[in-house]
Structure 1
Amino acid sequence: MEAKVYKNNNSSIREFFCGLRIQSRVIGALILRELHTRYGRENIGYLWIILEPMLFAIGIGILHAGSDSSEFAMTDIKPVPFAIVGYGTFIIFRNIVNRSGGTIEANAPLLYHRMVSLFDMLFARTILEAAGIMCSVFILIFLSYCLGIGGLPVRPLYILLGQLYITWLSFAISAIVCAATYENATIERLIHPMTYFAMPISAIFFMMEWIPNPYRGWLEWVPMAQCIEMVRYGQFDSASGKYFDFSYLSFFCTITTLIGLLALRAIRRHITLN
């Protein structure tokens, strides 16, 4: 009996890893398809995935370059890297959520393939967006250091963790948006302005410790603000690590992901392939 149970367990483990390999190949193929569809091979081709967010972050950095605010005085927090890590991290959220609305319409023919799911489509887009933006942020941080207008990260792991958390959050929200906007053009048009309305509460242009209570207490409940605080804690030595909580972020992202996956499962039944 014990040998039979052990054999069944081994078989289940093998099936799991076999399925994981197949799923990884599917997501990899979807990433390559998305790269080719969006950027093609002309001009600089796939490098646009890094250059495009770099241009946005450079623009914000230039706007902050001449800042002489007292918050930046006498500390290692310089305006250009402050803007780069803040806005660069927010772009992850903005791009993933904004581009989730038309996912089903753009990729519906792929659902003819049994191994391709809505989860795979959204996950592939999420990885593509997040990887490109993360690379662009680290490149810009290094360039600001070379130009003498910024420093290297003092806690690089926290920058990576903050960006991974906001990627996780963005994927979960994009699943909800994808389901909600299917055959509903009104909601889809509202997504873009709503992501911009999220900017004031996402701590892009300020640090939590600069905000007086009770407003700071309210902002501590905003997951995006916590993610950006985590990234800034990774970049600057004098930044505070009191305003983000791994447990809260993990719980919030888990619940939001569950809601998103249930929404995708519900909407899948209503998708008709002609």
Structure 2
Amino acid sequence: MNLLNAFARMPRVVGALILREMATTYGKSPGGYLWAVLEPTLGIVVLSFGFQLLVRTPPVGDNFMLFYATGILPFMMYSNLQAKISGSISFSKSLLAYPSVTFIDAILARFLLNALMQVLVFYIVLGAIMLIYRPEMILDIPRIALALFMIMLLALGVGLLNCFLFSFYPLWKQLWAIATRPLMICSGVFFTYDSMPDVLKDWLWYNPILQIVGIMRSGVYYQYDASYVSLMYITLFATIPALAGLFFLNRYYRVILYEM
């Protein structure tokens, strides 16, 4: 009966947390939602004009904006989502003191809202590029949807583990920030996997974000070969940290709340 009650009240609690998140994160200023769209757009524009001065054509296709959008948008979706999930306990600390609110509610609310925001940003930016430049392409919608799903799954898995580690070991937050600074360079945003030397390919293959960017580009460019992608590897890379994060959070989150 207690379990049924917990599932029954979860939509109400998660809904309330989502409204709180909307008010505090995106509703603080009129430009809160606008900046969510402008941030990746400005990155795409800067990269496109910068590389257009150095090379005549992008690595795939003939439109710089579209090529870099297929790299930046998935990467920023991962980066923003996992950061939001990682900070779920500290963000909702005051509410977690109530018995009716659990860490799962806090994480689920942040994940759902920010995943929706990132998907909307993706379609707005990509749609704008297609309307302005009208590139000739055959979109593989299921493939694009798969890339979005996998990047959200990866962000959830890494975010869950970091949610525990950031809270239990504060130093890990600084170490993580330092260790992941080169991640954008290593994730296929600026290049394609096939264009790399074989020595680098052997190492870069283990970056699941690079593989997901490959899925995205194979959905946008019908001629792009993403045979190097392993869905099993990406799924395991996301699932194992997720299970570990849930286990440790369930065991220690009360301890974390009292020590924060």
Report the alpha carbon displacement of residue 129 of structure 1 after superposing the two structures with TM.
2.3
Report the alpha carbon displacement of residue 89 of structure 1 after superposing the two structures with TM.
0.7
1:30 aligns with 2:17: yes
Distance in 1 separating the partners of 2:47 and 2:114 = 19
Aligned to 1:146: 131
Choose from 149, 162, 180 the match for 2:147.
162
Distance in 2 separating the partners of 1:122 and 1:24 = 13
Instruction: Identify if the C-alpha distance between structure 1 residues 184 and 27 changes in structure 2 by more than 3 Å, giving closer, same or farther.
Output: same
1:224 aligns with 2:206: no
Residue type of the partner of 1:222? Answer: N
* Structure 2 residues not aligned, in runs of 5+: none
Distance in 2 separating the partners of 1:65 and 1:21 = 54
Instruction: Identify if the C-alpha distance between structure 1 residues 67 and 243 changes in structure 2 by more than 3 Å, giving closer, same or farther.
Output: farther
Aligned to 1:215: 200
Distance in 1 separating the partners of 2:44 and 2:3 = 41
Pairs within 5 Å for 1:124-273: 124-148=109-133, 150-151=135-136, 154-182=139-167, 184-272=169-257
Which moves more between the two structures, 125-134 or 158-167? 125-134
Instruction: Identify if the C-alpha distance between structure 1 residues 21 and 203 changes in structure 2 by more than 3 Å, giving closer, same or farther.
Output: farther
Report the alpha carbon displacement of residue 61 of structure 1 after superposing the two structures with TM.
4.1
Report the alpha carbon displacement of residue 17 of structure 1 after superposing the two structures with TM.
7.9
Distance in 2 separating the partners of 1:152 and 1:131 = 26
TM-score by length of 1: 0.81
Report the alpha carbon displacement of residue 207 of structure 1 after superposing the two structures with TM.
1.1
Distance in 1 separating the partners of 2:100 and 2:138 = 41
User: C-alpha offsets along residues 158-193 of structure 1, whole Å, 9 cap, x if unaligned?
Assistant: 122112111111111111111111164432233333
Q: CA RMSD in A?
A: 2.9
Which moves more between the two structures, 142-151 or 242-251? 142-151
User: C-alpha offsets along residues 215-257 of structure 1, whole Å, 9 cap, x if unaligned?
Assistant: 2233222211111110111111211130212222222222221
Which moves more between the two structures, 262-271 or 166-175? 262-271
Residue type of the partner of 1:27? Answer: V
* Structure 1 residues not aligned, in runs of 5+: 1-13
Residue type of the partner of 1:228? Answer: V
TM-score by length of 2: 0.84
